[in-house]
Structure 1
């Protein structure tokens, strides 16, 4: 581990190169760069989740800790780890003070893993406009969490207005177990759905997204019915769907179990549990590219049309030319920085081959 106080981005690049030369095999095979943006008071939770996700998704981990935005002088403190407490790969924790914290891209861009997608996760209230966020603008995937907001419905509205392919939200990830249970429950049902509702909190973004997903999949409008009955951390307590004249499908949460009751069949009891932050992040890192199913659910939940339509997005989303330039050059900058970081090992290998040939 190397710690640099009041340092510069160039010094961080050189320190990472030195750590990689001594780190050996654990430094190879980065599948992506994970950028975590977090305030100091939430850093412990963010590090635990990121380390858990990095253990199963080889990545270069860059943690941007924004501190004392009103500090009179910009300052950067960095901690470089290879195979340490933040997983088996490379990790850099950067604490930024003053105006530097608002321009984190100037430090993170040269540290991106070359030829690998970039995923940015905001652990805390999401930025109001991701498209103009300094870190989000060069990311291939952007993970937010509307669960931090007091009004999840308003948070989803903002995400819909600002949506671009590659966006997702951990509120959507929290619905995975519900969606899996609902999909499997339809295996023995052939009737057409007539009505549907989600039981839970109408301010829960997870409940609203689940209702949006059901609306899109069933072809009937599904709304959230307010209830405090065992809604858990997700804000979802159950789902009720009716078919034809008398048929129905009900999923109700009871403690750590999910009771599935279908007309004419015995009720089933499935296990459902609250997943921790690391599990949610791990699931999202497995996906690359746009999540069209999330886009469709967000569109249905908020009433903003066309979010799952690639043609609509291409023709209706405006991107500032300066942002396009930043996106186009980010990978080139990362390659140049990677060449500096890898220069030592490559030179050593070349020398070894030359020595062997001369013998």
Structure 2
């Protein structure tokens, strides 16, 4: 584990800037560290523990590199889909490679989560009555390594309810674009996918009814995602505390308050996941995701103020500029803060 965290410290900037070798090595590193097995039952190849333990594992990675944590989140969310799938054969076939980091799992369900909230139509459609062929486009998917499998919610041309499928990269008709030209997290192997007459059958089905599966998967999808905010905020607050000197003692109280708020939000998240509360109370999880994103912004502001002008120098090894870019991703990762706020406003009305 420590070797992996040390490697992340040494490659955080390279991962953020899109170094190809670092990006290709990342998932294998995470797999060998055991991080992807946290919160997975031992009977399924994991090391046991809870979903909250997996959130903390992602937060631990995010303290060193948000790119790595984002990849870890995508992989771990895909693993969670299989753990919740009734398709035991798919789970038994795919889990070993995913847990070891030899195979990449791309969530691909950003469009689906927006569909669940009535914000978008599904971008991929299935033709036929089983087996099927898929047509459509996924404009953004991450963790698309050489060997990947992407989870998609798919509309059905026969009028049956949408379903959720797993599509491997080597299936005929799957085309991956070049990596998207992002301003940060460029080592996350994020690209667009086009599907042209891609054949699938029952063996590829994660769940036959998307509207049943997605609400059950959402607490894990969003809860694990909150680990990104927790870890990044912890890193920024730790740096602020480290650079806090007598000349900036005035920041002591705001820093303590920010640390307490972050700890409280983390505790509320882990308790809600442990109790299963977010299955019935999705708005509570939405509000926590928003609060944690605000914690990140406050933490980065405090790090900047505590570091002073040094934070603005490119030749200073503070990591602030990278964290500042990383923090810009937190409000827009699906579901974005504006989407969550809109959903809360709709529920309140």
Whether these two folds match at TM > 0.5 is no
TM-score for both structures, normalised by structure 1: 0.27
Q: TM-score normalised to the size of structure 2? A: 0.27
- Whose strand fraction is larger, Structure 1's or Structure 2's? 1
